[in-house]
Chains A and B, each alone.
Chain A
Amino acid sequence: MSIAEEAPVSGRRGLNLSKGAIAALMVLAVTVVCRLLMSDLDLSIEWINELRPFFEWLVSWPDALTVPMTDWVGAVVGGFLNIFKPVARVFSYLLEFPMTWVGGLLSGAPWPLVLGAVTALGWLIGGARMAALAFFGFGFVVISGYWLEGMNTLALVAVSVPLAALLGAGIGILAFEYPKLKGGVNVVLDVMQTMPTFAYLTPLLVLFGFGPVVGLIASAIFAAPPMARNVLLGLERVEPEIREAAVMSGGTRRQQLFLVELPAASQQIMIGFNQCLMAALSMVIIAAVIGGFEDIGWEVLLTMRKALFGPAFLAGSVIVVFAVVIDRMSAALAEPRPAQDKRVALAIFAVGAVIAIWAALAGWNPAGIAALDGVAERVDQGVGQFTANHGTTLDTVKNSAMFYGLLPLRIGLSDAVLPFTWGFAWTTTHTLVFYAIFAALAALIALRGHLAGAGLVLIGAMVLEIGVAQLPWPILLFGVAALGWVASGRELAIQVTVLLGLILISGLWERALLSLYLSGAAVAACALVGGILGFWSAMSDRAWMVVRPICDTLQTIPLFVFLIPVLMFFQIGEFSAFLAICMYAVVPMIRYTRHGLITTPDEMIEAATASGAGRWQTMFEVRAPYAAPTILLGLNQTILYAFAMLVIAALIGTTGLGQSIYLALGQADVGLGVTAGAAMAILALVADRLVQGFAEERRQALGL
């Protein structure tokens, strides 16, 4: 972190503190005061004990000052929704037509026909390789026995994607044409994307009524932002000379836009389309939690609830296969590619059609092929056997992580250290020794000139002792404000404090802390593991050859599927949720770290080499500092990913905001759903702004 890097300059007359040191010391002071006022620490100092009753409000926010925001939001949004309900219902009614048509078409068409069509499409897009991918992918779906469910899911995607793409492109073009709107549009896009997916399912449920249309619209809303962003980005990146050439050719504004600028930006727009597709697929599957429509997401959820891991695994694989096929095919569209022979595609399609007709005439209904039921059964048995044989090992892993890692982080060492797990009870003496050790460590660091670092070490120690979920609110508010101030300045400090303050007075504070703890733990783990893997991949091409496909796959898989493997081995619980979040959120950290480290300009490397730097020296002296802003951006992505997954992980047992959102969905409680969702979005937004601030500060320091 850059706070620690800024060495304070001590002058002869008095201390000349750096910004980071000032911030760290101030937060430290607040933390110390709060810690002393917390009632669980018995120091037998009379006057402190006497003061405590007067400062309880400092430690935990008093109920009397809590604003019933949940109720208010419920009333306002509920009233608002009621006004629009009739319009929405009409819209929902209208949308059902294309959905039924496409659904009927896809699930009604015999599978050889669909398989032929998809393979032919694959051929058109990317020749034999894509055709093979499409054939084997959809072939797998056929023999998995989930064909009908798969086609229902695809139908939802097929209707929601055009909606999302049009909506997104419209927003992108509008933001580009009217630069004044851009700021506002970006905020809206941020909210659309950081608002947890479940959170807007609730109002949509109220608005559109129970039915597949809700999932459809939710996925259109969720999938539009990437499209909008990429359209805007693509348009902004069109070379000025191309733009000017269109102007000088006498094109009207509309001609310039549609004949020149949009086509010139097509590559970026196709990237947006790819992201849009993947987001829509992911959301369509998640939307299954509001009810089953015989789609594949519902199948996964159902089997998971029944602890039928074999079928869950199989259905999950179908989702992964869909994701991979759709992703690779649409990603190929964004790249320059040679034209394929259309006759081959036609031939492939014809073969599919002929088989379909033959099957129809022969009265053979192959929709029920489920050749892999045996596999599912065997997976089920295998997992059962594995957990039975290695149950103790798995439990040890899980319990160690819980007792020595997650739990102390959540409720603090003073509460988590029990004779039952740690072998001894934590007493005031332990607390004092613990602080004495860290004070000595901090003093050592301070003496070497890193005052800010010393402050951070002490703050960290205190957070560990108190526990994230039990942190008095002033520490967090002050800490966030200080980070904002160091990262960017007063404006950001005020902004993030106000945002967090909203959660504080809304009464969702405790739940927010729980969410913060779990995502914080996951992000820390991801930063460590991802950083190491990214570093390793940057140093060795062979490592990247192994890591890369794993990253690609992890990034393609819809959120939901991550729950299956962790459930198989670790059952429902916080540790499973933690693992699922880590698996999903580690990828950006790896990618950005590697990318940052390998994209150092050649001249810089040459200069370093010419100065006699070795491989490792170049890595630490030149590449790493240069990569810092990129790595920070990776961290930022990891944080956002972790928050997104946190809500999904509520399905397998987390506490905090995610759980509230999920519960609200079950009860159609708009107030709770929206407020908890907003609180979640605020947490993500605050983290995002802070890390971006630091990244920007580093970038400027590097003159980028």
Chain B
Amino acid sequence: MTDHNSTAPAIAVKDLWQVFGENAKPALRDARGAGDDKAIAQTLKDKGLIPAVRAANFEVKSGELFVIMGLSGSGKSTLIRCISRLIEPTSGSVSIDGEDILQANDKRLIDLRRHKLGMVFQHFGLFPHMTVADNVGFPLKMQGMGKTERRERALEVLELVGLKGREDTYPRNLSGGQRQRVGIARSLAVNPDIWFLDEPFSALDPLIRRQLQDEFLNIQATLKKSIVFITHDIQEALKLADRIAIMKDGEVVQIGTPEEIVLHPVNDYVAEFSKDVPKGRHGCVENVMTKDVPANMPDDPGLKVGMTIETALAKCMALYEPVPVHDANGALVGAVDPADLAAALQAEET
């Protein structure tokens, strides 16, 4: 193994560009002189090239569930393919555990994929000519693992995703939800550190989707992988993510925790996404709390740091004066005006 740096982020993406078209590399190099990222992108477009990912910069911490959200055509699928190096980025760097994988040679790349990376695809990408168990065991076969061990491990992972007993059927005999369970099982077979999921639940029915999301969270709670998860569904992003990156036209426009995205959108585009989201569930009391505590607060409904706005509002429905907020130890940290709570909840509903 190369230099493994435990303090390094699991994934670090720096100034990553993906430009499609003829002679993209020299064109991007030339366009660098144009000024800021927007000007560069415009220059490339004028030449008939497509800047699908523009100057992406972010880090994914170890054990973090990082969601990249955007509409179709926003470049999110291209971005995850750059990070997993399924396609060759035009410029920039992607480090996994401190190792720049864009510099890795083919051998090293194969090695990484056999041991460290796992990926789930939107349309499952199952091999139609293999049984469920063979599909799941495929990455292990690539590692050179023996047949019985492979099957043993495949059954183990299949049990984890709730497909025990279906190991000898073929993908064509499974429902969409079951197929994606196989896809998930396959990506987990080698016990990867980094887990890429490209819109894994988008092709599924809403009910099955929710069920799989919950199971996915359960699996993640025990496995603690570093995850890059792609979706176009804001609800899904908010439900799953530790942090979210919002993409538009190849550009990452905002990175933040779900509540930051919902309560402090950087522009109208992001705000538009969170318009229909019930904010009370994602915002916390701190978001509307003020530090300057009024001298006299008659009521104390027992608000605590970390409480969602929804819960907090329920506790002070009948109150009109500012109320105190305590931290976990009971110390007074600030005050909240119930009117602000209500306002935060309804900010976008007009």
Contacts and interface: CB of A to CB of B under 8 A. Distances in A.
9 contacts: A241-B123, A242-B128, A244-B81, A247-B113, A248-B187, A249-B138, A250-B143, A251-B142, A259-B141
B125 to A, nearest CB: 3
Contacts of A252: 110
Interface in B102-131: 110-115, 117-119, 121-130
B139 interface: yes
Interface string B62-96: 00000000000000000001001010000000000
A58 interface: no
A600 interface: no
A246 B110 CA distance: 11
B66 to A, nearest CB: 18
B278 to A, nearest CB: 34
B84 A248 contact: yes
Nearest to B140: A249
Contacts of B186: 245, 249
Interface in A236-262: 239, 241-242, 244-252, 255, 259-260
Contacts of A263: 127, 129-130
A241 B122 contact: yes
A249 B183 CA distance: 12
Contact of A250 (B81, B113, B126): B113
Nearest to A265: B129
Residue of A239, A247, A250, A266 most packed against chain B (CB within 10 A)? A250
Contacts of A249: 113-114, 138-139, 142, 186
A264 interface: yes
Given A242-B125, A263-B129, 9 more contacts: A239-B125, A242-B128, A244-B125, A245-B127, A246-B138, A248-B86, A248-B118, A251-B110, A259-B141
Contacts of A266: 129
A252 B109 CA distance: 10
Interface of B: 81, 84, 86, 110-115, 117-119, 121-130, 138-139, 141-143, 183, 186-187, 190, 196
B127 A260 contact: yes
Contacts of B118: 248
A239 B119 CA distance: 16
B262 to A, nearest CB: 32
A242 B113 contact: no
A255 B122 contact: no
Contact of B142 (A239, A241, A242, A250): A250
B34 to A, nearest CB: 32
A324 B139 CA distance: 43
A244 B86 contact: yes
B127 to A, nearest CB: 6
Nearest to B130: A263
A504 to B, nearest CB: 39
Contacts of A241: 121-125
A491 to B, nearest CB: 19
A330 B131 CA distance: 25
Contacts, number: 68
A593 B118 CA distance: 48
A250 B86 CA distance: 11
Contact of A239 (B84, B115, B123, B129): B123
Contacts of B143: 250
Contacts of B196: 248
A264 B86 contact: no
B83 to A, nearest CB: 12
Contacts of A247: 86, 113
A281 B301 CA distance: 90
Interface residues of A, number: 18
Contacts of B117: 248
B123 A250 contact: no
B113 A245 contact: no
A242 B183 CA distance: 11
Contacts of A246: 127, 138
Given A244-B86, A245-B119, A245-B121, A250 B127 contact: no
Nearest to A244: B86
Nearest to B189: A249
Contacts of B121: 241, 244-245
B188 to A, nearest CB: 12
Contacts of A242: 125-128
Closest 10 CB pairs of A and B: A241-B125, A250-B114, A250-B113, A245-B125, A249-B139, A241-B121, A248-B119, A263-B129, A250-B142, A250-B110
Nearest to B87: A244
Contact of B119 (A244, A251, A255, A264): A244
A237 to B, nearest CB: 12
A259 B196 CA distance: 23
A241 B135 CA distance: 13
Nearest to A262: B129
Interface string A47-66: 00000000000000000000
A248 B84 CA distance: 8
Nearest to B117: A248
A260 B134 CA distance: 12
A250 B189 CA distance: 12
A248 B109 CA distance: 9
A263 B187 CA distance: 21
A377 B177 CA distance: 67
A242 B122 CA distance: 11
B189 to A, nearest CB: 9
B281 to A, nearest CB: 34
A264 B129 contact: yes
A649 to B, nearest CB: 44
Contacts of A245: 119, 121, 125-127, 138, 183, 186
B120 to A, nearest CB: 9
A248 B196 CA distance: 10
Contacts of B112: 250
A239 B123 CA distance: 9
B299 to A, nearest CB: 57
Interface in A167-222: none
Select the residue from B117, B129, B183, B190 with max chain A CB neighbours within 10 A.
B129
A247 B124 CA distance: 14
Contacts of B114: 249-250
A266 B127 CA distance: 12
B243 to A, nearest CB: 24
Contacts of A255: 142
Contact of A248 (B113, B126, B141): B113
A532 to B, nearest CB: 40
A250 B125 contact: no
A262 B121 CA distance: 20
Contacts of B123: 239, 241
Nearest to A261: B127
Contacts of B115: 250
A247 B139 CA distance: 9
B224 to A, nearest CB: 21
Given A242-B125, A242-B127, A250 B111 contact: yes
A247 B106 CA distance: 11
Contacts of A250: 110-115, 139, 142-143, 190
Contacts of A260: 127, 138
Contact of B128 (A244, A248, A264): A264
Contacts of B128: 242, 264
B271 to A, nearest CB: 33
B122 to A, nearest CB: 7
A247 to B, nearest CB: 6
Nearest to B84: A248
A269 to B, nearest CB: 12
Nearest to B113: A250
A250 B116 CA distance: 10
A486 B338 CA distance: 75
Nearest to A266: B129
A264 B127 contact: yes
A249 B127 CA distance: 12
B306 to A, nearest CB: 38
Interface centre among B114, B123, B127 (most CB of A within 10 A): B127
